[in-house]
Amino acid sequence: MSKKLSIIGMPMDLGQMRRGVDMGPSAIRYAGINERLKPLFDNIHDLGDIPIGRPEVVVDKESNLRNLDLVAEKNELLAKKVDEAIQSGSFPLVLGGDHSIAIGTLAGVAKHYKNLGVIWYDAHGDLNTAETSPSGNIHGMPLAASIGLGHPALTDIGGYSPKVKPENIVIIGARSLDEGERALIKETGIKVYTMHEIDRMGMAKVMEETISYFKDKTDGVHLSLDLDGLDPNDAPGVGTPVIGGISYRESHLAMEMLEEAKIITSAEFVEVNPILDDKNKTASIAVGLMGSLFGEKLL
């Protein structure tokens, strides 16, 4: 892991319908991200936020996708910023924003690796396309777009596709999958640890298997952590909460084990919505998990 950190804010709420997630990067900064991570890096550069503006909702008539052109445009900007951070020798840490921003993050990251691995820490699979999505919300499509499935405006961001191979993906914490997503997982062989496996095996075993799965087959691993992967009792400030999720302590253990394994080369923390939160609790948890991911120790 690089000793230089670049923080990139992506205050975008265009991938879904609930307002407030655009304030996620500000909430995370307010929760003390710079102060928390400063002892863990030689240099931290907060590159500010990708400009989003206040565009009106537009539904693409052909695909029925919300804000398709705007989501694509803003993700192109993010991809460029992430690419530049990696070229400078820095670890890119992206703050969301809804999960559609992962399309841009992965477009900026994957070009630097031959076999990028992805850990998708999330209650959802985000493997929908326009054909399978019940809502037309693009925040439910970033993983599908990143394996090359979906509208070309999303799959071709960065000028290439796919960004990641299905066999290089591990989803952790899934407990809400649409019918089309379940079919795609079975078809492509994407590795998934649902809450059933976490409950039955324990988080330590899940992470041991995940780390082992990536060790010899990838040359970098991106962590895409949606705060709704955690149980809403611990992380209430998210747009699509699903009860029965990963606990606060299990999540810290997962981050600690990833840090010990030294496999994470880029990361994003998404879907923090302070309007739905309780005293910025979810943003504070996000910052705490970042501390564990980057090597913070009690002793």
Given the residues 13, 49, 83, 99, select the one marked as catalytic.
99
Q: Are 4 and 89 in contact (CB under 8 A)?
A: yes
Query: Which of 49, 271, 277, 296 is labelled catalytic?
Result: 271
Catalytic residue among 181, 228, 268, 296: 228
Residue 228 catalytic? yes
Q: List binding-site positions for Mn(2+).
A: 99, 122, 124, 126, 226, 228
The reply to whether 122 belongs to the active site is: yes
Put the strands of the sheet holding 169-174 in their side by side order. Answer: 43-49, 4-10, 91-96, 264-270, 220-226, 116-121, 169-174, 191-194
Is 226 among the catalytic positions?
yes
Is 222 an annotated catalytic residue?
Answer: no
Active site residue 124: yes
State whether residue 259 is helix, strand or coil: helix
Contacts of 52 (CB under 8 A, 6+ apart): 10, 11, 12, 14, 22, 74
84 catalytically annotated: no
Structure tokens at 287: 């910052």
Instruction: Point out the catalytic residue in the list 49, 76, 181, 226.
Output: 226
Numbered residues of the known binding site: 99, 122, 124, 126, 226, 228
The CA distance from 192 to 174, in Å, is 7
Q: Which of 122, 181, 231, 296 is catalytic?
A: 122
Catalytic residue among 22, 49, 98, 124: 124
The catalytic residue among 22, 49, 76, 139 is: 139
Give yes or no: 151 in active site.
Answer: no
Q: Single out the residue of 12, 157, 140, 28 nearest to residue 83, CA to CA.
A: 157
Q: Is 45 a catalytic residue?
A: no
Residues that are catalytic: 99, 122, 124, 126, 139, 226, 228, 271
